[in-house]
Amino acid sequence: MFSDNLVSTVSIQEILSKGVEGRSISRAEAYELMRSDEDNIIISAARNIRNNNRLSDIITYSRKVFVDLTNLCRDSCSYCTYKKDPYDKAAKMLMPSQVLALAELGKKFKCTEALLVTGERPEHKYVEARDWLKTLGHTSTIEYIAEISEKVLSKTGLLPHTNAGSLTKKEMSLLKDTNVSLGMMLESSSPRLGLKNMPHHYAPSKNPKTRIRTLEDAGQLKIPFTTGLLLGIGEYAEEIIDSLFVIKEINEKYGHIQEVILQNFMPKAGTEMENANPIGLNYFLKIIAVARIILQDMNIQVPPNLNPGIFGNFLDAGINDWGGISPVTIDYVNPEFPWPTIDTVRTTTRSKGYNLRARLPIYPEFVFNMDSGYVSETIRGYIEPIYDSSGLVREELIN
């Protein structure tokens, strides 16, 4: 909720002119944009910023296989259907042979990314998770991910990208050798969402301090990192701006945040928030546009599967990426929302005047800076044969 005493000192047009010229706007100016009802010119400015910062008309995506390593999780978020308990029929604890079978399938469908996803530290809550890890010779989920990442990389050539929630610096160091990038949604920098009756009350890992520390540690380790916000879970507009500035300021310090996801919450049956209202399209478009104005040339994506039939609108508001899309596996975090086909995404992208290209799970700016320590020697040999002069996947490998 915006402060009552916040007074505009400059016009909206002056703020937008700064953004289009590539100058940073202040937090107070960003608040003013969110308060404004000049949505159309804000969205137009954001689109201009995206176009000005791109040397081509390319919109990207990552062709991936989604490996749901284990959906046991110590957290309980009010909106989540991903988390399962050990007694649930849908609970998963995949063995190495199952993971490699999925990776091989992804390879057949010309994927370049193996997205490895787990719940948050399930071994801290469930004896079943500890027993599963013990049979594999490990005491933690991260140790197992390190092993399976090496197997996927060496046996299939798919590039692992792990999202296992908040990690320590030591854990990320363990994964860097065989993961081309890592990911963790900030979701929100507001501690208010962790209070009683709020969505993160029973999710200790969603404490903003914990998540921000992970982002900073990843920067110190020079790990290309994906993060983002979950929108529509009870946050105020002011808190959205604050969260975007947290991401912006960390990236200005370390330069490692390769992508910012703006994900709209969709209510799911069987959760505490099943009757909550999803975020409105017009408001979401405005958030995307303001994010582009704040973040300038950073990569911004919105998942197309959460917005069936309307996702092309997000190109108008300044995004430049569709995220990971799988031709072989579902979105296990949002199984109610199937991915559109890549051909559908391509057609929608072209209808807006842009061309769709596949990228690696590491963005071109990091591909071209591998000598700066962003990519381990182990992974470099797998990356070099599959990217072209633009840093994207060689088209002949996926067509």
For 309-325, what is the mean pLDDT? 97
Residue 18 in domain: no
| DSSP codes, 200-226 | TTB-GGG-HHHHHHHHHHHHHTT--EE
Distance, CA of 113 to CA of 65 (rounded, Å) = 6
Could you tell me the pLDDT band of residue 6, with boundaries at 50, 70 and 90? very low
Could you tell me the pLDDT band of residue 184, with boundaries at 50, 70 and 90? very high
Q: Is the pLDDT score of 2 beyond 60?
A: no
Query: pLDDT per residue over 189-230, tens digit each?
Result: 999 999 999 999 999 999 999 999 999 999 999 999 999 999
Q: According to the model, what pLDDT value does residue 55 have?
A: 65
Could you tell me the pLDDT band of residue 399, with boundaries at 50, 70 and 90? confident
Whole-number average pLDDT of the chain: 94
Residue 341 in domain: yes
Residue 31 in domain: no
Residue 157 in domain: no
Could you tell me the pLDDT band of residue 10, with boundaries at 50, 70 and 90? low
For 2-26, what is the mean pLDDT? 77
Query: pLDDT per residue over 37-69, tens digit each?
Result: 999 999 999 999 999 987 679 999 999 999 999
For 251-256, what is the mean pLDDT? 98
- Of residues 6 and 131, which shows the higher confidence score? 131
Q: According to the model, what pLDDT value does residue 327 have?
A: 95
| Domain interval for residue 320 | 52-65+170-397
Q: According to the model, what pLDDT value does residue 147 have?
A: 97
Query: pLDDT per residue over 326-362, tens digit each?
Result: 999 999 999 999 999 999 999 999 999 999 999 999 9
Contact yes or no for 233/188 (Cβ under 8 A): yes
Q: Enumerate long-range contacts of 375-380, CB under 8 Å, 24 or more apart.
A: 375/180, 375/224, 376/176, 376/177, 376/178, 378/153, 378/177, 378/178, 379/153, 379/159, 379/177, 379/178, 379/179, 379/180
Residue 183 in domain: yes
Q: Is the pLDDT score of 5 beyond 80?
A: no
Q: Is the pLDDT score of 7 beyond 70?
A: no
Domain count, the chain: 1
Q: Is the pLDDT score of 295 beyond 70?
A: yes
CA distances from 280 to 186, 221, 273, 287 (A): 21, 38, 16, 11
Longest dimension (CA), the chain: 63
Distance, CA of 206 to CA of 203 (rounded, Å) = 6
Least confident of 43-57, 252-266, 301-315: 43-57
Q: Domain with 360 in it: what CATH number? A: 3.20.20.70
Residue 152 in domain: no
Distance, CA of 186 to CA of 226 (rounded, Å) = 10
Q: According to the model, what pLDDT value does residue 54 have?
A: 76
Q: Is the pLDDT score of 170 beyond 70?
A: yes
Q: Is the pLDDT score of 14 beyond 50?
A: yes
Burial of 56 from C-beta contacts in 10 A (0-12 / 13-18 / 19+): exposed
Residue 123 in domain: no
Q: According to the model, what pLDDT value does residue 56 have?
A: 79
Could you tell me the pLDDT band of residue 4, with boundaries at 50, 70 and 90? very low
Residue 11 in domain: no
